Amino acid sequence: MDSSKEEDEEIVYPVSPTGQYFNSTVFCAYVLCVLESQIPIDDSPTMSLLKDVFLPINSRFSSIMVDRNGKKTWKKVTVKLEEHIKVPVFPPLMSLQSYDKYFDDYLCRIATERSAEDQKKPLWDIHIIKYPKSNGAAGSLIFRLHHALGDGYSLMGALFSCLQRADNPTLPLTFPMNRRLSDKKRENESMFEKMNSFFSSAINTTLDFGESLLKSTVVQDHKTPIRSGDEGIKFRPISITNITFPLDYIKEIRSKLGVTVNDVITGIIFFGIRLYMQEKNYESRKANSTALVMLNTRNIAGYQSVKEMIKIDAKAPWGNRISFLHVSIPKLSSATFANPLQFVFKAHQIIKMKRYSLGVLLTGSLLDMMKKFKGPEAVARHIYRTMGNTSLSVSNLVGPVEQMALANHPAKDIYFTMTGDPQSLTITIMSYMENLNVTLKAEKGFIDEQKFKSCMENAYEMILKAAWDIPSKKKI
């Protein structure tokens, strides 16, 4: 058969707009997910699991991105699984602390690796680390997935579909409920409340969209101990640090203050950031600093099965359904230092205001218009510049309530981070069982990751103590 005719018969389908943004000349983003095993890893089932379970999840896992008539498309290829499995060899008989160091260095190295060869095969790989860590993990799996394959919701949904409950594999994994205002409650609102919500939405939308537009184009955050503002940050070495907070105590703070878990962890992060900035440069505690919060724009309350996700008429189809909003980090003063709960209350106020805003939808519409008239590369430059103008990105995902297992390997923990962004700091959050994992990806040599971790832990302790002293639930 003629080769050109054979090529025409290959299965191709278009790349989503966001997928093109994440794999462009200016932006190449990966998601790294670390799954820690409680027992030593037996990698003998790896090939069969990838072939029979992972690849069938979505055709993108067996496709490469190519240009067809000036448009990006996915082209199905034969997957050589051995090219996607990496098993690094560390020196034998070392201390747990030494293996921690080797693991961290390896994780940071693959996070910043960029190769033209990556584009010639499906955009994912798995790294099997058969060495223990001081936190009790007997081994680790690192899933390195290109962001063009899907957003965090899609990629985590795919991963969870390969896992089972450790206590009973026949039962499905369950996830924390997403508390949202029910339609019934909205129906019971009075006319005054509905009018008030309408005007609040209009005002907040105008402010949100205006702020987002300015900070995406002409307004930059101050250079601070968390923002170097230098060019080429995405090529510099990074450090990845994980902090674990007990969910029970986070929920206790939530109940004491009458807010949400999201409000509490956001307040802790913002307070921890300002404590670090104050320790490194006292004046920077009041600098203009902005967090770019990455959002899932699906109108859903939890994960769907992969089968449901890939349905054409699904409410949460596979792909990249994300947008972002700018959130100003509250400034640190003597009053807020003395009463750190103000950071939680401020987070509650900000999140409540953003909830009644259509700024995220308008931002999405702006990107769609920009793509239509200027092309995907222009949108990628806009997103990249938007990230570069802010101090950090924040993204969060929920994990299962029960312990999960992969091929009879009980998972001790799971966390993730993102790469390829032009920022000195990225914070990702993920719940698993009774813990909340906060992962810091920092520019190595610029941010002191251990000092930052200490400040974040101090912020948690100070907020917990302040909340503990409150005798009853505080109304806001």
Statement: residue 306 has pLDDT above 70: no
Residues 28 and 157 in one domain: yes
Cα separation, 127 vs 183, in Å, equals: 44
Coil, strand or helix: which one is 65?
A: strand
Asked if 151 and 111 sit in the same domain, the reply is yes
Pair 414, 33: CB distance under 8 Å: yes
Over residues 310-330, mean pLDDT: 62
- What is the domain-level CATH number for residue 109? 3.30.559.10
**Residue linked to tokens 């971790």:** 453
pLDDT of residue 49: 93
Q: Give the Cα separation of 324 and 452 in Å (integer).
A: 25
| Domain at 384, CATH number | 3.30.559.30
Residue among 130, 155, 161 at smallest CA distance from 30? 155
Q: Is the same domain home to 93 and 218? A: no
Least trusted range by pLDDT, from 171-175, 243-247, 400-404: 171-175
Shared domain check, 455 and 346: yes
Q: Are residues 18 and 136 in the same domain?
A: yes
**Average pLDDT for residues 160-176, to the nearest whole number?**
90
Give the residue carrying structure tokens 């190595």: 444
Contact criterion met (CB below 8 Å) for 376 and 370:
no
Read off the pLDDT band of 274 (50, 70, 90): very high
- In 3-state terms the chain splits into helix, strand, coil percentages (rounded to 5) of 45, 20, 35
Do residues 230 and 129 share a domain?
no
**What is d(CA 375, CA 417) in angstroms, rounded to the nearest whole number?**
28
Asked if residue 5 belongs to a domain, the reply is no
Q: Where are the strands (E) in 62-178, listed by range?
A: 63-68, 71-76, 85-86, 124-129, 139-146, 164-165
In whole angstroms, give the CA distance from residue 354 to residue 327.
Answer: 9
CA angle 286, 291, 297 (to 5 degrees): 155
Flag whether 309 is in a domain. yes
Share of residues in the chain with pLDDT > 70 (%): 84
210 and 136 both lie in a single domain: no
> Is residue 316 predicted with pLDDT exceeding 50?
no
How many angstroms separate the CA atoms of 119 and 30, rounded?
Answer: 13
* Per-residue tokens: 449: 């990751």
Helix, coil or strand: residue 258: coil
Flag the least confident range among 246-250, 344-348, 394-398, 472-476. Answer: 472-476
Which pLDDT score is estimated for 299? Answer: 46
Assess whether 192 and 119 both reside in one domain.
Answer: no
My answer on whether 147 and 193 are in the same domain is no
Predicted confidence at residue 189, as pLDDT, reads 52
Burial class (CB in 10 A: 0-12, 13-18, 19+), 188: exposed
Residue 473: inside a domain, yes or no?
no
Q: Out of 101, 132, 165, pick the residue that ends a domain.
A: 165
Query: Domain limits at 236?
Result: 183-398+424-468
Asked whether 99 and 133 are in contact (CB, 8 A), the reply is yes
As a whole number, mean pLDDT of residues 132-156 equals 91
Size (the chain), residues: 476
Residue 413 maps to a domain: no
Q: What is the arrangement of strands in the sheet containing 71-76, beginning at the earlier edge strand?
A: 12-14, 71-76, 63-68
- Could you read off the pLDDT of 174-195 as tens digits, one per residue? 888 755 444 444 445 555 554 5
Q: Are 453 and 241 in contact (CB under 8 A)?
A: yes
Among residues 114, 133, 165, which one ends one of the domains? 165
pLDDT of residue 114: 80
Q: What is the pLDDT of residue 172?
A: 87
Of 2-6, 58-62, 275-279, the one with minimum mean pLDDT is 2-6
pLDDT of residue 429: 95
Report the relative pairing of strands 409-419 and 71-76 from DSSP bridges.
unpaired
The domain boundary residue, chosen from 165, 194, 227: 165
247 within some domain: yes
Radius of gyration of the chain (CA): 23
Residues 6+ apart with CB under 8 A from 415: 33, 34, 242, 428, 430, 432, 437, 439
Confidence of residue 321 (pLDDT cuts 50, 70, 90): low
**Beta bridge partners of residue 71, listed in sequence order:** 68
Q: Answer yes or no: are the C-beta atoms of 412 and 244 closer than 8 Å.
A: no
Let me know the angle formed at the C-alpha of 341 by 339 and 347, rounded to the nearest 5 degrees. 135
Residue 116 lies inside a defined structural domain of this protein: yes
155-to-85, 151, 210, 257, 356 alpha-carbon distances in Å: 18, 6, 32, 34, 28
Q: What pLDDT, on the 0 to 100 scale, is given for residue 179?
A: 52
Each residue's pLDDT tens digit, 430-456? 999 999 999 999 999 999 999 999 999
- Is residue 285 domain-shared with residue 331, that is, in the same domain? yes
Residue 475 has pLDDT above 80, yes or no: no
- Strand 392-397 relative to strand 290-296, pairing: parallel
299 and 350, same domain (yes or no): yes
Q: Is residue 174 part of a domain?
A: no
- Give the model's pLDDT for residue 8: 43
Residues 160 and 199 in one domain: no
> Is residue 254 classed as helix, strand or coil in its secondary structure?
helix
pTM above 0.85, yes or no: yes
Domain count, the chain: 2
8 Å CB contact between 215 and 332: no
What's the token pair of residue 362?
């308008």
Q: In this predicted structure, what is the pLDDT of residue 233?
A: 87
Mean pLDDT of 115-133: 90
For residue 22, give the amino acid letter: F
The answer to whether 156 touches 33, Cβ cutoff 8 Å, is yes
In a domain, residue 404? The reply is no
Going through 138-252 in order, the beta strands assigned E by DSSP cover 139-146, 164-165, 238-246
Three-state SS at 74: strand
